Amino acid sequence: MPKQPRAQELDPNIQNRENARRKTFWEDEARAIVRAEMERTGKSYKHLEALLAGVGVRNSAAAIMNRVNRGNFTFAFFLQLMVAMNCEELDLVRVARRFREVERDA
């Protein structure tokens, strides 16, 4: 028996909404990880401005805050932030688990 097409295969608008939902999930997770690390280390955006300068990134505190708030920064910027805050490990298992939960509930 032929496989029935999924709704998103029939309607590209559904696919676009799913892609947008997933993109929002990843941006929210990136933002949450950075903010959690800032809270854990007691760093402000002003602190990050100075710390990032130490790894060669020249951004104002306001520019850093805008990038973090958008959540759609590059992975390179994410790594620079984590190194600047001396983050030694990330719990990606938690992120993967949360993604599966969100996908299941969608």
How many residues can be counted in the chain?
A: 106
Task: Specify the pLDDT at position 41.
Answer: 96
Q: What is the pLDDT of residue 4?
A: 58
> pLDDT for 71-82, tens place per residue?
989 999 999 999
Q: What is the DSSP string of 50-65?
A: HHHHTTT----HHHHH
Is this prediction's pTM over 0.85? Answer: no
> So what's the pLDDT on residue 79?
96
List the structure tokens of 97.
């688990």
Q: What is the pLDDT of residue 10?
A: 58
- Going from N- to C-terminal start, the domains of the chain cover 10-105
For the cut 60, the answer to whether the pLDDT of residue 1 exceeds it is no
Q: Which residues contact 67 (CB under 8 A, 6 or more apart)?
A: 59, 73, 77
Residue 22's pLDDT is 86
For residue range 3-56, what is the model confidence (pLDDT) as tens digits? Answer: 655 555 556 677 788 888 888 899 999 999 999 999 999 999 999 999 999 999
